[in-house]
Structures are given as C-alpha cells and as structure tokens.
Amino acid sequence: MKHKRPFWMHQMVEYILGGMLVAQGLQSPTPILPALAGGLIMVNAAIVRGPLAAFRVVSRRQHRTLDIVVIITVIVLGVQPAVSVEGSTRMIMVAMAVVMAFVWIGSNFDDRVKRSARTKITAEGGRGTEVGRLAGRAVGDGINAAKRMKDARKR
C-alpha cells in the first residue's frame, strides 16, 4: 500500500488554500464568491476531529465525504455564469479545487490509533522486536566497553 500524507498536513493545506481564496477575494473587484469558497474550505478544515481542528464536530470519515462536496462546490462557484466573477479569479478557484482534490487523493483519513494500542501490537514480539532488542544490547555493550576503557586509562 502506498504511503499517504498525515492528516495534519491535509488540514494545514486546507487552511492555506482557504486563506488564499479569501485573500484573492479581497483583491478581486468581485469578492463574494472566492471569499465564500475560501471560508467554506477553512470551516471544513476547522470542524473535523484532527490535530489542527478548532471545533472537532465531524469524524475524519465524514470529512472525507465533505471534502468532495466542498471541491465540487468550489468548482461550481468558479464556473457558474449567474454571478459575475473576474476571469482570473475563476481560474484560481478551479485551480484551488484541483489542488484540494490532489491533496484529498493522497491523504490518510484513518482515525488515529491510541499509543497503548500501538505498543501492544509491537510489544508482542516478532522479528522487529528482536532486532530492536539486539540493537539496544549492542549499543549498551559498546557504551559499557568505552566506560571500562576510560576507567582503565585512569588507573
């Protein structure tokens, strides 16, 4: 299985993209839609149960679905003809939605495993535990040998 980026990174990118769209809206002669899209992205990042969340209302699984809804909404807001939006702002909105989709594809939405559950899995044994034990003993033996050599020199 391919390694996916951690969820905190996913949230950080959402905050950055949302902030960029809000900033773009502030610089645009037609600010309402890009500012709305940016705010929507930032609220979506703020309500999920994740490390950078502000409110922790929805689970990561629900957030995964909400991300798709937000991506589609930003694209629709960027291409809709009813409300006047500057052409470059439209392109930026769609580009941000594409970036968000790319981040979504590579993100890990699994809930965080508690530390005690992780240590139970690895502490049971196996080759990794054995190699770790051997490495620790080798380092300890090396440190003890160095101390003995240092003490022998002092005498």
Map out the domains of the chain as residue ranges. 7-105, 115-154
Three-state SS at 58 = strand
Q: What is the pLDDT of residue 58?
A: 95
pLDDT, one tens digit per residue, over 111-150 is: 877 766 555 555 566 777 777 787 888 888 888 888 888 8
Q: Where are the beta strands (DSSP E) in the chain?
A: none
Rg (Cα) of the chain, in Å, rounded? Answer: 25
Residues 59-80 have pLDDT tens digits of 999 999 999 999 999 999 999 9
pTM above 0.85, yes or no: no
Is residue 50 classed as helix, strand or coil in its secondary structure?
coil
